[in-house]
Amino acid sequence: MLIIGLDPSLSCTGWGVIRIEGSRISHIANGQVKTAAKAPIAQRLDHLHAAIAAVIGTHAPDRAAAEEIFANKNAQSTIKLAQARGAVLAACGAAGLEVREHAARLVKKAVVGTGAADKTQVQAMLKILLPGAQIAGADAADALAVAIADAHLG
């Protein structure tokens, strides 16, 4: 089974694809989709949608997993996150993928063992769980963690 993990953001959306065979997890691919900060919001959302749709088309995952949305102190940031998430989830929906959502604390607990883990702890555990994987950046690492958590949570 192939799972695509997604870490939506308007500025940089991370994605990661893993294969699950029994209890074995292997890395397939990962990357980040960046948008131009000065571009109109509609163009940025279209770019995110098209890029994630292309990743889904290339790797043909069986399902998708994404972090649940959280509210920022800044309402505008929350709105932008929700819009980016909508574009990413719409790409999954267009491909007919089931999307499972997981809280950030649950993802950290599934990957590291504690929901209070920081990004460096998550990235260190990814090196152990996915040896040899070249991870494109922090957002791609978060997306791989979401996919791994989804695999563990079944």
pLDDT in tens, 115-145: 999 989 999 999 999 999 999 999 999 999 9
Sign of the C-alpha dihedral computed for residues 74, 78, 83 and 85 taken in this order: positive
| Domain total of the chain | 1
pLDDT in tens, 139-153: 999 999 999 999 998
Domain of residue 39 covers 2-153
pLDDT in tens, 53-110: 999 999 999 999 998 877 667 888 889 889 999 999 999 999 999 999 999 999 999 9
Catalytic residue among 21, 68, 101, 139: 139
The response to whether 101 counts as a known ligand-binding position is: no
pLDDT grade for 49, boundaries at 50, 70 and 90: very high
Distance CA 27, CA 131 (A): 8
- The pLDDT score that the predictor gives to residue 153 is 86
Select the more confidently predicted residue: 116 or 6: 6
Q: What is the mean pLDDT of residues 6-23?
A: 96
| 139 is known as an active-site residue | yes
Q: What is the mean pLDDT of residues 21-42?
A: 96
| 46 is known as an active-site residue | no
Token pair for 86: 């909508």
The response to whether 7 counts as a known ligand-binding position is: yes
Token pair for 80: 């932008």
Tell me the pLDDT of the chain averaged across its residues.
94
Tell me the helices (H) and strands (E) count for the chain, helix number first. Answer: 5, 5
The response to whether 118 counts as a known ligand-binding position is: no
- The pLDDT score that the predictor gives to residue 100 is 97
- The pLDDT score that the predictor gives to residue 76 is 85
- The DSSP secondary structure of 92-142, one letter per residue, reads HHHTT-EEEEE-HHHHHHHHHS-TT--HHHHHHHHHHHSTT-----HHHHH
- For residue 92, the domain's CATH number is 3.30.420.10
What is the pTM assigned to this prediction?
0.95
Distance CA 67, CA 13 (A): 12
Catalytic residue among 67, 68, 98, 101: 67
- The pLDDT score that the predictor gives to residue 63 is 98
Cα Rg, the chain, nearest whole Å = 14
| 101 is known as an active-site residue | no
